[in-house]
A = this chain, B = another copy of it.
């Protein structure tokens, strides 16, 4: 098996180093090839993601990515040109973002609320399609538009994945959208969910307005099992759920092409965090848990579980002192297989 590793910007290389070393602890035979994408490469070559690079990446079994984004490059250039470019080119229409409170992890909510949910976020439609425009830019008469594009095909394949995931979890699926205002897209989501639910009689389906979801996620998070939602709503919801699960330091995500024609991309939910980059203080746990998602996706569940258990043991037993990136990686690795 061959993994394409993209360390990226900021803290990306630091956390990916720990993640790859942890991967090799459980699966020493997995090959890794490194791709230097991000700010440095862009500054040196003026290129974001060259077609031939994408082609090479395509011929791997999975992609492990650190983070993309740098303050010295105009906002969004790298994110759109590399990260989103890959998600779209590799048809990563399924974005899985699980949250589960772990004993020992920080808790932001009052009371002893356990959260165990999975957000199934659409990855190739919605307001992320780049279908915007602007006129009279820089004048008092500037108009800027952003277009959310939604197709029955795209919503159906996302929802089918969400139903499948709910069926093997607690059989509760919450469809989150805003049909009372976004009438066209919202109605499409609602009808697609209603039609599919006939095929999954055991899954209880609930429709929730996205604003109400923000509220319920912090007041009654235990009501959620699987949440299916659009690209932008999923982006907002999963930063919130990552906070509920102990912070972005622990939140992992999987970008998947459901047809499996393209390799999946596994990445921490956090960004490149330029403010703490290079200081060796970034928490590599989210990157390491992204390896867990990757191993599960590759069918290597024994290896995935070994790392997952090591992470949980580490978090349950760690003290209040803050550890360096290297120390956290070491402590997790020392527990793998022990």
Contacts and interface: CB of A to CB of B under 8 A. Distances in A.
Interface of A: 69, 75-76, 79-80, 84, 107-110, 127-128, 130-134, 136, 138-153, 156, 178-188, 190-191, 210-212, 214-215, 218-219, 232-233, 235-240, 242-244, 247-248, 271
Nearest to A131: B145
Centre residue among A109, A140, A151, A214 by max chain B CB count within 10 A? A214
Contact of A139 (B136, B149, B152): B152
B141 A127 contact: no
Contacts of A150: 143-146
Given A76-B181, A132-B183, A136-B152, 18 more contacts: A69-B180, A79-B180, A79-B181, A80-B180, A132-B184, A134-B184, A139-B152, A141-B151, A144-B151, A144-B184, A145-B147, A146-B148, A147-B148, A148-B148, A214-B236, A214-B240, A215-B242, A215-B248
A219 B153 contact: no
B148 A108 contact: no
A174 to B, nearest CB: 15
A181 B143 contact: no
Nearest to A148: B146
Contacts of A218: 108-109, 218, 240, 243-244
A108 B243 CA distance: 13
A186 B107 contact: no
A127 B188 contact: no
A38 B18 CA distance: 58
B143 A151 contact: yes
A325 B132 CA distance: 47
10 contacts: A79-B180, A132-B183, A132-B185, A140-B156, A144-B185, A146-B148, A146-B182, A181-B232, A215-B248, A218-B218
Contacts of A75: 179-180, 186, 190
Contact of A127 (B148, B242, B244, B247): B148
A113 B238 CA distance: 22
Nearest to A179: B75
Given A79-B180, A239-B214, A145 B144 contact: no
